[in-house]
Amino acid sequence: MVLGGKLRLKNSLKRRSECGNPCKLCSKACPIEAIDKKGNINMNECFYCLDCQSLYYNNYKCPPLVIKRKKLEALRSKHVKLKERLV
């Protein structure tokens, strides 16, 4: 596995500033524990199962995305209610 990590020219796995602090979802989901508690991926251990990436893009599981989605839904709901009042 270490050899595979050394052959990669760059880390193409996406991370957010919230990854590791406060969120630790990906580090808990990683089957080989290649993500440390600070959210950094150890590319020498990672074998690209992409579990972390499926969480990264999931609006219903990734905590930062869940927060954004809920705020957007609240704004949309508020907008619809205001529109209904005007009609």
Domain ranges of the chain: 2-86
Output b/e per residue, 41-68; b: 16+ Cβ within 10 A.
Answer: bebebbeeeeebeebbeeeeebeebeee
Question: Each residue of 46-78: pLDDT tens digit?
Answer: 999 999 999 999 999 999 999 999 999 999 998
Q: Is pLDDT of 8 > 60?
A: no
This prediction's pTM: 0.74
Q: Give the rounded percent of residues in the chain with a pLDDT score beyond 70.
A: 87
pLDDT band with cut points at 50, 70 and 90 for residue 16: very high
